[in-house]
Chains A and B, each alone.
Chain A
Amino acid sequence: QITLKESGPTLVKPTQTLTLTCTFSEFSLRTTGVGVGWIRQSPGEALEWLALIYWNDDKRYSPSLRSRLTITKDTSKNQVVLTMTNMDPVDTATYYCAHGTDYFNYWGQGTLVTVSS
Chain B
Amino acid sequence: QSVLTQPPSVSGAPGQRVTISCTGSSSNIGADYDVHWYQQLPGTAPKLLIFLNSNRPSGVPDRFSGSKSATSASLAITGLQAEDEADYYCQSYDTSLSGWVFGGGTSLTVL
Q: How large is the interface on B (under 10, 10 to 19, 20 to 34, 35 or more residues)?
A: 20 to 34
For B47, the chain A residues whose CB sits under 8 A away are: 107
Q: Are B91 and A103 in contact (CB under 8 A)?
A: yes
Q: Which of B34-51 contact A (CB under 8 A)?
A: 34, 36, 38, 44-48, 51
Kindly specify which of A8-16, A41-49, A71-79 makes contact with the partner chain.
A41-49
A interface residues, tally (CB under 8 Å): 21
Q: Are B102 and A52 in contact (CB under 8 A)?
A: no
**Residue on B with the closest CB to A48?**
B102
Judge whether A96 is part of the interface by a CB distance below 8 angstroms: yes
Interface of B is mostly: strand
Interface of A is mostly: strand
CA distance A47 to B105 in the complex (A): 8
Q: Are A62 and B99 in contact (CB under 8 A)?
A: yes
CA distance A36 to B44 in the complex (A): 19
CA distance A104 to B102 in the complex (A): 12
Q: Are B45 and A109 in contact (CB under 8 A)?
A: yes
Q: Are A110 and B45 in contact (CB under 8 A)?
A: yes
Contacts A46-B89, A105-B51 given; does A96 touch B46 at CB 8 Å: yes
Q: Are B48 and A105 in contact (CB under 8 A)?
A: yes
